[in-house]
Structures are given as structure tokens and as C-alpha cells.
Chains A and B, each alone.
Chain A
Amino acid sequence: MSEATGTARVKRGMAEMLKGGVIMDVVNVEQAKIAEDAGACAVMALERVPADIRAQGGVARMSDPDMIQKIQAAVSIPVMAKVRIGHFVEAQILESLGVDYIDESEVLTPADYTNHIDKWNFKIPFVCGATNLGEALRRINEGAAMIRSKGEAGTGDVSNAMTHMRTIGGEIRRLTSMREDELYVAAKELQAPYALVKEVAETGKLPVVLFTAGGIATPADAALMMQMGADGVFIGSGIFKSGDPAHRAAACVKATTFFNDAKVLADVSRGLGDAMVGINVADIPVPHRLAERGW
């Protein structure tokens, strides 16, 4: 039997299995178990959630392998972990640990202000953030097997995630309405490879799964993103910075499945305790906005 590992199909296929699910940021074994019990389809292991990275400042890096491995040992669902943009050695380390997905993330301090990681060199699949279609297609061209629209991580303010989902969706719809001879210029304007632009124009969707992330704090936020066309959601600080994480985590999982059923959404939104306090994105000075990292 000839077996091929690390192919585009198994990398992208892994993301297909996460669809309709919630991926939760966790900083220790206890949180990872709460997430798994609540029905998370995967966890993101990291030392500090974005809200704390924002509050504490300093350089944010890949997490301690010990901490990641403890979480891998504690749960049976997929475990993801973050590397700095362009830091391919952090990615080599995570690959050696056998994490299931690597997030090349703007939430950490970038290691390269020009290049992202050449993700084709890895057997492990990567997810990358994007604020618009051109950025998404550049990441896919570099080998990303999953895209998440960026929001403003660690704020609990969903407005940026909304902007970016609308932008990506709008740009896809625009491509599908174009004449074929207009796609060359569209590719130039999007700063994306023509072949990928043509594929999106023909299929009306990205060639990989599209999740959304950044600022999602309530079941209603999760359902909003699903109704906007996301395949699933990442929730970072929103769960474990709230008053009753286990309850809120389970509520967000249900809201992501029943995103079109207002009655279910009303039920799961009841009595969740305090949501994370949050910061308005508009109050964050531009140099401190994470979503603008990535090129």
C-alpha cells in the first residue's frame, strides 16, 4: 500500500472536519478539558490569551513545548498552536511535537516583516489570518490549508471580524460577476496569483475552509459570523476571560451549530454570567492593532 502523507488534500481535509465547530484558546490542561467537555472541535494551546498579551505587552512568542504537550496528553480532540509570522523554526519545533495545526498568527509578535513562512515545506497544515481576499490568496499560495478572517483579537469587539468577513465575501462575489478577460487585472489589483483568482471566480468560494476569529465573545457573535458565511469560529479570550467559561463555551458551540435558529440562540444566551469586559477597537491606537500585522 503506497501512502502519501502531508498532501494538500489531507491538510485541507483536516480543516473540513473542523467545520461547524468552535476552536477555543486554552492556556492550561484544566481549560483544555473544559473546552473538550463543552464540545470544542479543537483547542489552541497558548501561554497567554490575546487579551493578556495586549494587557501585558512585550514580545509574544511560541508557547513552551512542555505546556503544549501536557495539553496534547490531556485531550483527544485536535490541538493547534501558534507561531510568529515568518518564524519557520518555531514551526519546525511545533511540527516535531506533532501538533495537529499551526496558526501563523498576527497575535504573536512578527519575526519577519516581509515574508511569511513557506508552508509547503511542512507536513503539518497551517491556518493563517486574512483581512481581505488578496491576503487570503497570498497565504494559500504559500501553502496555508485553512484561512481565518482576522478580527481584533483580545478585545471582545466583533466589529473588525465583521468588516473582514464582509470584505472577503464581497471581493469573492465581485470576482464571480466578472468577465474572464477582466480576471487578469483583478489578480493584479488583489496582488494574488492569477490561477487562484480564476479558481475563486469559477467556484465562488475560497479553495480552503474559511473560519473567523478575533473579538467573538458571545453565542450571538458566533452565530453572526456563521450567518456571514464563516465555516466555523475561533474564540480566544472570549471564553476564559468571562465569568462562567464552561457554560459560555457550551453555549457558543450550540450557537455555531444552530446559527440560523433564533429560538435556540435565545435559549443558549440566557444566564451566561459576565461576558469579557472588552475594549472598543476604536479606542486602540493604530500601532497596537493586531489585525494589521501580515502582508
Chain B
Amino acid sequence: MKVGVLALQGDFREHLKAAEECGHTPIDVRRVSELNEVDALILPGGESTTIVHLAQNFGLYQPIKGAIAQGLPVYGSCAGMILLADRIVDGVKDQKTFGGLDITVRRNAFGRQVDSFESDLTFNGTSLHAVFIRAPWVEQVGAGVEVLSTAADHAVAVRQGNLLATSFHPELTEDLAVHRYFFEEICKGR
């Protein structure tokens, strides 16, 4: 499977490596032509405002929105979660997202960098070690959204249809459980 990683800004290299380690062909996505080639897409950690700014400037914003609407499997970590959310609070004024996930996300919900932390949690029934960096959380979930992990009484991993989002960064650890879940459960058959 060809797995694209949006490579505008952030830790896209770590996601490319994770996709490769799971046996897939990783592709940097910076252009529409590259987006059109992929069977699945990952939105990396980074600064959500920077990533949206670049996506809008380089004509990727509408194509990604369109691909999500047509059912492309997409996984977003941290900034990627913000980019997949239909609604955000504490964003910059009029901050745009690609949307698709019926959730409300609070940016920097766990606090500033001094509050960034690592912790064990349960993801879809199995335990894993998670790294949270200036992380968002899910404030509200819509009816069709499945919560896969919680921390501090908030959802930090959610799935709706072909879309998966986590507040934390599995790409910064050796544990590829979240990536495998995305490839095996969501991208199945592609």
C-alpha cells in the first residue's frame, strides 16, 4: 500500500519511517499529484496553523478535504488531530481545518511545553506508552465517533469511519500499535 505523509512541516519523517516499518511504501505529500497516488494519508505532528497555511498556499487544502469526503483513510497525530476536527476551540481566529471527524478539539489543552508528558494508557483495549507534546484533547464527540483512548477524562484517540486521530505521538516511540491499527483495521483491503 502507498502511504502518503503530508510533508509540509512537522515530524513527517518519523511517520514515513513508521509506515515503512509496517511494510508499506511511504510517500512525501507536498503536491496534489502526490496526493492522488496514495492509498492512505497521515497528517503528522507539527504546528497546525503552519500546516494549514502551507496547504492553502500550495493548492492542497481543497484536494485533501475532497479526498477525505471520498473516503480516503486518514490518520492524524496531535496537529493532525486538530486538522481532522470539524470544530476547534482555542485556535487562532478563523483557523481552518480539513475536517471530517465529528469532534470538537481544544488546542494545547494539556497546557504549555512545561506540561508536556509521557504516560501509559489503553488504546483500543491494549496498553501502550504515549507521548503528549503541547497536546490537544477532544472536548466533544459526535454520535458516530468511537473513543479508543482517554486521558485526564478526555478522549485522546478517536475513530470515525476511515478517519483516526490521536492527541499523542506514537511516531516518537518504538511501539507501532496505533499505526498497525490504522493500516490493518481502517485501510484493510486497499
A residues near B, CB below 8 A? 1-7, 9-10, 13-14, 16-21, 36-42, 75-78, 95, 98-101, 123-125, 250, 253-254, 256-258
Contact = CB atoms under 8 A, between A and B. Distances in A.
B119 A1 contact: yes
B184 interface: no
B188 interface: no
A76 B92 contact: yes
Contacts of B119: 1-4
B130 to A, nearest CB: 10
Contact of B79 (A7, A14, A17, A98): A17
Contacts of B7: 20, 257
A3, A10, A13, A36 interface centre (most CB from chain B within 10 Å): A13
Contacts of A5: 114-117
B128 interface: no
Interface of B: 7-14, 30, 45-47, 49-50, 53-54, 57-58, 78-79, 90-92, 107-108, 111-121, 131-134, 151-152, 169, 172
Given A1-B121, A39-B53, A258 B116 contact: no
Given A9-B172, A14-B113, A257 B30 contact: yes
A256 B108 CA distance: 25
Given A1-B120, A41-B47, A99-B113, 15 more contacts: A1-B151, A3-B118, A3-B119, A5-B114, A5-B116, A10-B117, A17-B45, A17-B134, A19-B46, A41-B9, A99-B112, A253-B50, A254-B58, A257-B8, A258-B58
Contacts of B112: 98-100
Contacts of B108: 76
Nearest to B118: A4
B113 A78 contact: yes
Contacts of A77: 47, 49-50
Given A10-B133, A17-B78, A76-B91, A36 B114 contact: no
A7 B113 contact: no
B11 to A, nearest CB: 4
12 contacts: A2-B119, A4-B118, A5-B117, A7-B117, A7-B118, A16-B10, A16-B11, A17-B134, A21-B10, A98-B112, A100-B112, A254-B54
A38 B169 CA distance: 26
B45 A9 contact: no
A78 B134 contact: yes
A38 B58 CA distance: 14
A40 B14 CA distance: 21
Q: Ordered nearest first, which 4 A-B pairs have the shortest CB separation?
A: A39-B53, A100-B113, A10-B116, A20-B9
A8 B108 CA distance: 20
A165 B172 CA distance: 26
B114 A95 contact: yes
Contacts of B50: 21, 39-41, 77, 253
A4 B117 contact: yes
Contacts of A254: 54, 57-58
A16 B12 CA distance: 9
Contacts of A76: 49, 90-92, 107-108
A167 B118 CA distance: 35
A124 B111 CA distance: 13
A250 B9 CA distance: 14
Contacts of A40: 50
A203 to B, nearest CB: 13
B148 to A, nearest CB: 16
A19 B11 contact: yes
A39 B118 contact: no
B54 A39 contact: yes
B7, B47, B92, B115 interface centre (most CB from chain A within 10 Å): B47
B114 A13 contact: no
A13 B131 contact: yes
Contacts of B9: 19-21, 39, 41, 256-257
Nearest to B57: A254
Contact of B113 (A4, A19, A39, A101): A101
Contacts of A2: 119-120
B111, B116, B117 interface centre (most CB from chain A within 10 Å): B116
Contacts of B78: 17
B113 A124 contact: yes
B53, B90, B113, B115 interface centre (most CB from chain A within 10 Å): B113
Nearest to B119: A3
A14 B46 contact: no
